[in-house]
Amino acid sequence: MTELLTSTTDATPPQRLDADWWRQATVYQIYPRSFADANGDGIGDLPGITSRVDYLARLGVDAVWLSPFYPSELADGGYDVADYRNVDPRLGTLADFDAMVAALHGAGIKLIVDIVPNHSSDQHEWFKEALAAPKGSPERDRYVFRDGLGEHGELPPADWKCMFGGPAWDPVGDGQWYLHLFAPEQPDFNWHNEEVRADFLKTLRFWSDRGVDGFRVDVAHALAKDLPENLPSEAELAAMDTATGTHLLWDRDEVHEIYAGWREVFDEYDPPRIAVAEAWVNPPSRRARYASASGLGQAFNFDLLEADFDPEAYRRIIVDNLDQAAASGSSTTWVFSNHDVVRHATRYGLPPNGDRPRHYNRTWLLSGGTEPVVDTEAGLRRARAATLFMLALPGSAYLYQGEELGLSEVADIPDAARQDPTFFRSPGVDVGRDGCRVPLPWTATGRSFGFGDAKAHLPQPEWFGAASVEAQSDDPASTLNLYRDALALRRELQADESLTWAPSEPQVLHLRRANGWEAVANFGSTAVPLPAGEVLLASGPVDGELPGETTVWLRN
C-alpha cells in the first residue's frame, strides 16, 4: 500500500490521499443527538461536533462515522429520513455541515455518513405524495403498496411482523396497505423503481461533493425484494432459505446490481468514496459480496459483538473473518459497541446471556438493570482487555462514542423518558436501545455534565460525572488514556494485514503482526507468565506476569 502525503504550505496536518486509507482505519461512531450540544437546547448538534474536533484528534481516530443527521421526526433515532440532502434544523444547517467537514479534515480525520436506503420517513415528500395519489399511481410505485385482503381490503396483505414489533403492513384508508420492515413511520422503498435508484445516486454525489469520504449503508441487505402476487405467511417467510440469494426480502443476489451502480459513483471521486455495509446475512460467507471491490467495499462483521469473553470464541471469529476478508479482497471490521446494543463494558459484567441476540440482554434491561447484578468492575476490566486485543487485529476498528470512557449501559431510564420505537411497539416485552444513547459526559459537574447548557434529551445518571472526559483526562490509568495511548501506538505500529498465532495456554490468545507487534490477552482469572518482549501498553497493571483478564502489547 503506497501512501501519498500532500505537502503542506500552511499549518494544516497532511491529508492521507491513498485510496486504501479505510483498510485498517480506526473509525469513531458519533450519534449526533447525544455527542455535544452547542446551542443549549438539550440535543446534540453539528456545531457541537465541530467544537470537539480537538478531542477526536487527541483521541487519535482516523475517521468519524456520523449516524443520521438528516431532517427526521425521530420515530427511529433519525433512521427515519425525511430529506436525504439536508440537515435537521435542530442539528444545524448545511453551512454547519460544511464547517464540520472542514474542521475534521483540517485535523486529518475523514468523515463517513450514514445512508438509509431501505426506507424513508413517512414525512418524506415522496411518501406524502404517495398517500395523496391513487392506487397504481407512479407516486405509490416508489414504495411497496399492496391491496388488502377481505372484501374491501380491510385485512393486511400478509401477517408479517416488523422488526420493532407489531405488523409490517399498515392500511392507508383506501384498501391499500404499505410495507414497513421497521417502524410504521419507516415505509420501505420500492427499489425496482428507477426514480428511487436515481435519487440515491444523486444523494451519494450530493454528500461526496461536500467532501464526505464514505458511507455506512443501513440495512444494506434488504433493498432488493421480490414480492409475488400471493404473499407467503410470516411462518413461510421465516422458513425460507437465506443461503441462496433467493429469499423474498433479505440478501437477494440482485441487491448487488444496485451497489455496482453506487460503486461507479464512488469511483468518480479521488480518492474513491468508500462504503461499509450493515448486512446481517446467513451464512456469513455471503458477506463477501457486500465487501467486494465492485460493490460497497467493506462490510461489518458483528461476531465479536455477539461473543462471550472467551478465548476459543475469539480465536474462531478472528480466523474466520480474516479468511472471509481475504476471500473478498477487503479488510475486515471489528466492533464491540454501537447505538443498537448494550454497551460492552456492561455485557461483560453480566453472566453469559441465555437470551438471543447475545448483545442485547433483554431480561436484564427489562429489570431496569438490576437482575442479574452487573459486576461493573469486572465488566470494565474485560472490556478494556477485549478492546486492546481487538485494536491489535488487522482490519478496521469501529468504536462507539463513550466506549473510550468505559461507559456502562444506562439501564434505569424512566419509561416517560424513553424514545426508542422498540419500547413503544412492544410494551413490557422490550425497553429498546436508549441506554447506550445517553448524551456523553464531558465535565464532572454541571447541568448535563458539559454536554450542553440544558438538561440532556435523555436523562444522564449521577455516576456520569466520575466517568466524564474531565475526570479521566489527567489520570494515566483511565480508560480514556488507555484508548488514547492505544490509538497513537496503533498508528505507529500498523503493519500489513497478516497475523500469526503464538503457542499459548488455553486461557490465553497471543497474536503476532509481521513487524514484531504482539498482543497477548489472558481471558482467565489467574495470572500467567508474561511472554518475552518490550511492554508497550497494557489494559491493567502488569508486573512480571500477566494478570487475569488483561491484555498486553509487546514489541519483539
Assess whether 415 carries a catalytic annotation.
Answer: no
* Binding-site size, ligand NOJ (CB under 6 A): 10
Q: How far apart are CA 1 and CA 19, in angstroms?
A: 9
Q: Contact with ligand NOJ (CB under 6 A): which of 87, 219, 342, 552?
A: 219
CB burial of residue 496 (10 Å; 0-12, 13-18, 19+): exposed
**Antiparallel, parallel or unpaired: β 528-529 and 534-538:** unpaired
- Toward ligand NOJ, which CB reaches closer, 63 or 103? 63
**Antiparallel, parallel or unpaired: β 534-538 and 550-555:** antiparallel
Q: How far apart are CA 410 and CA 44, in angstroms?
A: 18
Q: How far apart are CA 309 and CA 286, in angstroms?
A: 26
Q: Contact with ligand NOJ (CB under 6 A): which of 45, 96, 213, 218?
A: 218
Q: Which of 37, 80, 185, 218 is catalytic?
A: 218
* 76, interface contact from Ca ion, ligand NOJ, none, CB < 5-8 Å by kind: ligand NOJ
Q: How far apart are CA 489 and CA 491, in angstroms?
A: 5
CB of 340 to ligand NOJ, least distance (A): 5
* 304, interface contact from ligand NOJ, Ca ion, none, CB < 5-8 Å by kind: none
**Beta strands across the sheet bearing 517-522:** 500-501, 508-512, 517-522, 550-555, 534-538
Q: Which residues contact 386 (CB under 8 A, 6 or more apart)?
A: 304, 309, 336, 344, 348, 521, 551
* 409, interface contact from Ca ion, ligand NOJ, none, CB < 5-8 Å by kind: none
Q: Are the beta carbons of 220 and 290 closer than 8 angstroms?
A: yes
Answer yes or no whether residue 65 interacts with ligand NOJ by CB under 6 A: no
CB of 22 to ligand NOJ, least distance (A): 19
Assess whether 185 carries a catalytic annotation.
Answer: no
DSSP state of 67: P
At 236, which helix (H) or strand (E)? helix 234-239
Answer yes or no whether residue 37 interacts with Ca ion by CB under 5 A: yes
Measured in whole angstroms, the distance separating CA 197 from the mean position of its chain's CA atoms is 24
Q: Contact with ligand NOJ (CB under 6 A): which of 340, 404, 497, 518?
A: 340
Answer yes or no whether residue 169 interacts with ligand NOJ by CB under 6 A: no
- Toward ligand NOJ, which CB reaches closer, 88 or 278? 278
- Toward ligand NOJ, which CB reaches closer, 139 or 218? 218
Q: In whole angstroms, how far apart are CA 334 and each of 108, 192, 338?
A: 22, 33, 11
Q: Contact with ligand NOJ (CB under 6 A): which of 25, 66, 116, 158?
A: 116
What phi, psi does 63 have (nearest 5°)? -150, 155
Measured in whole angstroms, the distance separating CA 363 from the mean position of its chain's CA atoms is 23
Sole residue written with cell 489467574 = 526
* 397, interface contact from Ca ion, ligand NOJ, none, CB < 5-8 Å by kind: none
Stretch that binds Ca ion, among 42-50, 245-253, 332-340, 362-370 (CB under 5 A): 42-50
> In degrees to the nearest 10, what's the CA dihedral of 534, 535, 537, 542?
180
Residue nearest to ligand NOJ (CB): 79
Q: Which of 147, 209, 257, 268 is catalytic?
A: 268
- Toward ligand NOJ, which CB reaches closer, 116 or 388? 116
* 199, interface contact from ligand NOJ, Ca ion, none, CB < 5-8 Å by kind: none
* Binding-site size, Ca ion (CB under 5 A): 5
Could you tell me how many residues make up the chain? Answer: 556
| Residue list 277-316, contact with Ca ion (CB under 5 A) | none
* 467, interface contact from Ca ion, ligand NOJ, none, CB < 5-8 Å by kind: none
User: Rounded to the nearest 5 degrees, what angle is found at the Cα of 548, between the Cα atoms of 338 and 360?
Assistant: 25
Answer yes or no whether residue 185 interacts with ligand NOJ by CB under 6 A: no
- Toward Ca ion, which CB reaches closer, 38 or 104? 38
Q: Contact with Ca ion (CB under 5 A): which of 45, 80, 403, 404?
A: 45
Q: How far apart are CA 125 and CA 93, in angstroms?
A: 19
Q: Contact with ligand NOJ (CB under 6 A): which of 160, 169, 182, 290?
A: 182
- Toward Ca ion, which CB reaches closer, 86 or 507? 86
Answer yes or no whether residue 43 interacts with Ca ion by CB under 5 A: yes
Q: How far apart are CA 274 and CA 293, in angstroms?
A: 10
Stretch that binds Ca ion, among 45-53, 206-214, 225-233, 243-251 (CB under 5 A): 45-53
Q: In whole angstroms, how far apart are CA 114 and each of 69, 78, 79?
A: 8, 10, 9
* 518, interface contact from Ca ion, ligand NOJ, none, CB < 5-8 Å by kind: none
Q: Contact with Ca ion (CB under 5 A): which of 15, 39, 86, 123?
A: 39
| Residue list 68-107, contact with ligand NOJ (CB under 6 A) | 76-77, 79
Written as nine digits, the cell of 270 is 479521488
**Antiparallel, parallel or unpaired: β 500-501 and 508-512:** antiparallel
The CA-based diameter of the chain, rounded to the nearest angstrom, is: 79
Residue type at 494 in one-letter notation: Q
Residues forming the site for ligand NOJ (CB under 6 A): 76-77, 79, 116, 182, 218-219, 278, 339-340
Catalytic sites, residue numbers = 218, 268
Residues forming the site for Ca ion (CB under 5 A): 37, 39, 41, 43, 45
